[in-house]
Amino acid sequence: MAKTAMRQRYHFMGPCGWINDPNGLIYYKGKYHFFYQFNPYSGFWSQMHWGHAVSDDLLHWEHLPVALAPSEIYDDHPQGGCFSGSAIEKDGDLYLVYTGTANNGNGFEQTQNVAVSVDGVHFSKCEGNPVIEPPEGVPHDFFRDPKVWEHEGLYYLVCGAQRDGRAQALLYRSKDLLHWEFFNVLFESRGEWGFMWECPDFFPLGDKWVFLCSPMGIGERTTVYFVGDFDYGTGSFTYTVTGEADWGFDFYAPQTFQDGNGRRIMVGWANGWDWMPFWKDWGPTWREGWCGSFAVPREVRMNDNLTLSIMPVDEISTLRSEMAVLPPTIRLGEESTTLRVGDGVAYELGFSIDLMQTDATSIHLNLRQHDDRALVVDFDLAHARMSVNRDKADEWSKGTSRSPLSVQGKEKLDVILLSDQSSMEIFVDGGRVVHSMNVFADNEHNGISMYAKNGDAVLVDVKGYGLDAV
């Protein structure tokens, strides 16, 4: 499996089969724990298990036994099983809170359940499951993905739900993780934010709170965030700023956690669902017996204007191998300039667009290029926007992701590219804009070229590195 053509070199993947949402991300007893939605038997989604892996550095992973498998009347739906959830430590033990999906004659019946482990490896489902059932008025097939945290001796849980066709985030609280009471509707859509929020996350950052989710029913948006204020007295959240955690097509259901260094780390599934408007399929990797990876772990920080910056964790730099021989400053014109970084497949390339010396209306990058195929990145400086077009990137993918760019009053615009065997992640403006896209191209697709239109463009601080496999 490790030597198949499309396997990622440094991104997290399951040992085989299908993976999707990251679950139960936690720094527990000195190690990073990743749980994840897992079908170990096929490269397609089916009855969900929880895979499990541990790491010392967020890059090198040891796969452990499956943590949760469908086994009980509340989580044994043949096209459901143990859906997404979160993890928390209590009295030294590791608790998993997850959605069980069953079929007792009413279709998809979703409830919240708890499993516990004393060693962080082997988990037992609690006898009192389900611990939370859908409240009246909430459809039993739109009640999932609990995220749990502790505050001043009480445990809180936010769960995605729907009422009257509109998305809601329901808030519960508990003294022991086993007996829960409904507290309030934390936050809800009036229709403008879709009909369901999958994998909601809710966490403090500085003196503000962030609500993060993957909305269903609002077009191409895969992951959005809201920044505002939360009142523990009433259980209500009011937002003032909203933004996109990732504008690309392959970043979904992210979950965050705080590590031992106090960083807020975000991890997302690097793929999407068949109901999305840009979806074609999940790519050719099912032929190799697997499907799915995670985007690189990212650190989340708050900006002064309450937007978020989301950048790769510093540990990525430890994968750097040879430094590319590149001029520190590159002047681009309408003739194409080619670069060589690593093997052109797994690499890091960084530069800043010097906006004071640039009079071109746009800058174009061709990545993973071979013959007439390439992933095309367009920085449209004249209209302050960016796009990533993968219509000709490979024989599978399609669609163009788009985002605004903030260039007014700035002297430079920094860009970081992280390329791997089957993905490209682009971080712009200090992580205020991110595009993550899968690219299913073979090793011959290793070219990098760039050019400017209607003038010259100046790139400064140009650096590149090959990135080692893990």
**Any idea which residues carry the catalytic annotation?**
21
Q: Which of 337, 346, 363 is nearest to 448 (CA)?
A: 337
Question: Are the beta carbons of 234 and 284 closer than 8 angstroms?
Answer: no
- Residue 19: exposed, middle, or buried by beta-carbon count in 10 A (0-12, 13-18, 19+)? buried
Q: What 3-state class would DSSP assign to 2? A: coil
DSSP count for the chain of H helices, then E strands: 0, 34
Cβ contact 99:144 at 8 Å: yes
Phi, psi (degrees; rounded to nearest 5) at 319: -85, -5
Residues for the chain: how many in total?
A: 470
CB neighbourhood size of 258 (10 A): 16
Residue 46 backbone phi and psi in degrees, to 5:
-160, -140
Contact 342, 421 (CB under 8 A): no
Report the C-alpha dihedral over residues 159, 162, 163, 165, rounded to 10 degrees. 160
